[in-house]
């Protein structure tokens, strides 16, 4: 167990580079299971979640070499299609191997992921989609077993544009006979990245980025090299770090279009945001103004930025309203922000935040990845020191966040609890 000791009050200044996207890397690494051969993924961030996905692949029998930001995966020797409870518990997104395994081996078994800190997160849409392709699903003793004689292209309508279900269905239909049409598909940039990777291997996937994706089955894929897109949530987090500390930070290696909802909301608070090619500069010199936020699937405001943006709103002028519509239980950070002096009232899925001039340091705990990031941001702007427990959650999605912020002038020390 590790904790951060954070001394707040420093204005962040300088340049910070964004790593490769966690949420692109995870499905792309899982998709490499489709290939009877070797592929290379570049721009792979050194994150705990990515290490879990590597462990899942190794458990299934793949050869994985991860050096610096490149992962070389050879999935020709897969000898198992079962993902145990232990690996599933370490990371929900391990369920992304379901699609590629069923596509290539016509069999997969994963432990049921269950609920997590931000909501119940069922897999009914993944299963409904797989069944439409001819997969037989049984749920017993906490495991989901998927089997098929053959996979037949079909039309699937997702009741909700689930990112994971869209990705699993894209991968499941790669070797299916005929064409699969996924309607009301998720439109996140990570889905486009997955499509690009699959097509580089020889798949025929069209429409990612829109709500209709068409996959025409192929017989064979071949090895390729692919670089994942930059992490838009990491970039958004750095933007808030600049804004909340009254800083001046240039964030490089970003795709600004992916950040539009965050950039627009930040501008509404009065923060100056300049966009140039693959860079965003954020300059803040006064207290932010209050704004209202409602999380939505892409291209709406990302739920993965809700806790961090809320941290900013705790020090805004006047009252802001945040509504979470994607996950039912994504307010664990509220209690911790209150410990730091924030005035937040919860009414169901809505949080009403009365901005204060400053927060004060306290001992708080990261309950999940983005809640942890929000607490780091709050601590950077707080008076006095903050002790942040359970930083392992933060390491799931940020590469040594303390090093990136210390290089900009923050004071964060990592210590063993
Ligand atoms: C992905 C992201 C996560 C992000 C989320 C929403 C990865 C690895 N993770 O998670 O960071 O917060 O998208 O942008 O990419 N749902 C169902 N039934 C299903 C599937 C989902 O009801 O079968 C619901 C979920 O409970 C949730 C909503 O749909 O309320 C969105 O979930 P989903 O888009 O599937 O999120 P993930 O893919 O798990």
- 88-137 pLDDT, tens digit per residue, is 888 889 999 999 999 999 999 998 875 567 767 789 999 999 999 999 99
The helix/strand count (H/E) of the chain reads as: 14, 24
Ligand 1 atom showing the smallest separation from residue 123 Cα: 23
Residue 70 · residue 54 · CB < 8 Å:
no
pTM beyond 0.85? yes
Relative to beta strand 13-17, strand 248-252 is parallel
**Residue nearest ligand 1's atom 31 by CA:** 162
Ligand 1 atom showing the smallest separation from residue 328 Cα: 30
Ligand 1 binding pocket (C-beta < 6 A) is: 23, 26, 93, 119, 121-126, 160, 162-165, 186, 190, 303-304, 326-327
**Residue nearest ligand 1's atom 35 by CA:** 162
Is the bond into 299 cis (omega within 30 degrees of 0)? yes
Distance 327 CA to ligand 1 centre (A): 8
Distance 79 CA to ligand 1 centre (A): 29
**Residue nearest ligand 1's atom 25 by CA:** 121
pLDDT of residue 114: 59
Distance 162 CA to ligand 1 centre (A): 5
- Give the tokens for residue 194: 């997955």
**Residue nearest ligand 1's atom 24 by CA:** 121
pLDDT of residue 186: 98
Distance 164 CA to ligand 1 centre (A): 6
Cα–Cα dist 126/139, whole Å: 13
Give 3-state DSSP helix, strand, coil % of the chain, rounded to 5.
Answer: 35, 30, 35
Instruction: Answer left, alpha or beta for residue 346, where phi above 0 means left and psi between -120 and 50 means alpha.
Output: beta
pLDDT of residue 122: 85
Distance 121 CA to ligand 1 centre (A): 7
Q: pLDDT, tens digit, for every residue of 299-316?
A: 999 999 999 999 999 999
**5, 51, 116, 356: which is the annotated catalytic residue?**
116
Closest CA to 182 of 158, 205, 206, 162: 158
Q: Give residues with Cβ within 8 angstroms of 63, minimum separation 6.
A: 73, 74, 77
pLDDT of residue 353: 98
Ligand 1 atom showing the smallest separation from residue 167 Cα: 38
Residue 306 · residue 370 · CB < 8 Å:
yes
Distance 122 CA to ligand 1 centre (A): 9
Relative to beta strand 411-416, strand 2-7 is antiparallel
**Residue nearest ligand 1's atom 12 by CA:** 304
Ligand 1 atom showing the smallest separation from residue 233 Cα: 11
Closest CA to 304 of 71, 119, 45: 119
Residue 38 · residue 70 · CB < 8 Å:
no
Cα–Cα dist 169/14, whole Å: 42
- 76: exposed, middle or buried (C-beta count within 10 Å: 0-12, 13-18, 19+)? exposed
pLDDT of residue 218: 98
pLDDT of residue 115: 55
CA–CA distances in Å: residue 3 to residues 244, 290, 388, 393, 413: 22, 31, 5, 11, 8
Distance 163 CA to ligand 1 centre (A): 5
Segments in the chain below pLDDT 70: 114-116, 119
**Residue nearest ligand 1's atom 26 by CA:** 121
Clarify whether 116 is annotated catalytic: yes
Ligand 1 atom showing the smallest separation from residue 304 Cα: 12
- Give the tokens for residue 325: 């519509």
pLDDT of residue 21: 98
Which residue among 24, 326, 329, 369 is best mutated to probe the pocket of ligand 1, counting the most ligand atoms within 8 A of its Cβ? Answer: 326
Closest CA to 163 of 95, 229, 108, 103: 95
């Amino acid at each position: 167990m590790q904790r951060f000791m954070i001394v707040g009050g420093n204005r962040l200044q300088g340049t910070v580079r964004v790593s490769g996207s966690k949420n692109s890397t995870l499905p792309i690494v899982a998709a490499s299971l489709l290939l009877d051969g070797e592929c290379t993924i570049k721009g792979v961030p050194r994150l705990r979640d990515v290490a879990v996905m590597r462990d899942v692949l190794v458990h299934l029998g793949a050869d994985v070499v991860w050096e610096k930001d490149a992962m070389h995966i050879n999935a020709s020797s897969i000898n198992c299609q079962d993902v145990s409870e232990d690996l599933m518990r370490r990371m929900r997104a391990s369920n992304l191997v379901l699609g590629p395994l069923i596509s290539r081996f016509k069999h997969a078994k994963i432990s049921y992921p269950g609920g997590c800190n931000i909501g119940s997160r069922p897999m009914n849409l993944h299963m409904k989609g797989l069944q439409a392709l001819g997969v037989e699903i049984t749920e017993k003793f906490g495991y989901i077993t998927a089997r098929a004689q053959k996979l037949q292209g079909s039309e699937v309508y997702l009741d909700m544009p689930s990112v994971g279900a869209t990705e699993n269905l894209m991968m499941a239909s790669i070797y299916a006979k005929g064409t699969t049409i996924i309607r009301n598909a998720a439109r996140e940039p990570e889905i486009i990245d997955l499509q690009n990777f699959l097509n580089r291997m020889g798949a025929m996937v069209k429409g990612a980025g829109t709500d209709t994706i068409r996959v025409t089955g192929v017989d064979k894929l071949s090895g390729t090299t692919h670089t994942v897109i930059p992490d838009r949530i990491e970039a958004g987090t750095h933007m808030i770090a600049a804004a909340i500390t009254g800083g001046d930070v240039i964030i490089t290696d970003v795709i600004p279009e992916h950040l539009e909802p965050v950039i627009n909301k930040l501008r509404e608070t009065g923060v100056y945001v300049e966009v140039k090619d693959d860079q965003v500069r954020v300059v803040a010199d006064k207290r932010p103004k209050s704004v209202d936020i409602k999380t939505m699937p892409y291209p709406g405001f990302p739920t993965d930025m809700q806790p961090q943006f809320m941290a900013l709103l705790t020090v805004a002028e006047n009252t802001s309203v945040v509504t979470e519509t994607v996950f039912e239980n994504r307010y664990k950070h509220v209690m911790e922000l209150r410990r730091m002096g924030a005035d937040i009232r919860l009414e169901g899925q809505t949080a009403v935040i009365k901005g204060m001039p400053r927060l004060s340091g306290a001992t708080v705990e990261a309950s999940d990845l983005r809640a942890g990031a929000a607490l780091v941001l709050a601590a950077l702007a707080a008076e006095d020191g903050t002790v942040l427990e359970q930083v392992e959650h933060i390491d799931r999605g940020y590469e040594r966040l303390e090093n990136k912020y210390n290089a900009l002038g923050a004071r964060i020390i990592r210590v063993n609890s």
